């Protein structure tokens, strides 16, 4: 279980790094927070996200639903 938790955390940080590299979000702190909220499907206003990259956050949300659902089993 701890290994799965670590893998989810790693994936969240990878998405955050992608958002910063694409300049979709202004800084790493914002990107990590946005990624955690999106991956866990809590939801977050994507107003600060660059319009060209909003689809990436939707894909992250779908990915989180699938992977977190697997964790709960």
Rounded Cα gap, residues 72 and 1, in angstroms: 10
Supply the range of the domain harboring residue 24.
2-72
pTM for the structure as a whole: 0.78
Tokens encoding 62: 């779908």
Q: pLDDT tier at 57 (50, 70, 90 boundaries)?
A: confident
pLDDT for 55 equals: 81
pLDDT for the residue numbered 14: 95
Confidence check: pLDDT of 67 > 80: no
Q: How many structural domains does the chain have?
A: 1
């Amino acid at each position: 279980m701890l290994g799965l938790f670590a893998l989810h955390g790693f994936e969240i940080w990878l998405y955050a790094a992608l958002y910063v590299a694409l300049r979709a979000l202004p800084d790493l702190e914002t990107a990590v927070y946005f990624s955690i909220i999106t991956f866990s499907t809590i939801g977050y206003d994507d107003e600060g996200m660059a319009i060209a990259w909003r689809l990436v956050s939707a894909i992250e949300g779908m990915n989180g639903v699938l992977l977190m659902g697997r964790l709960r089993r």
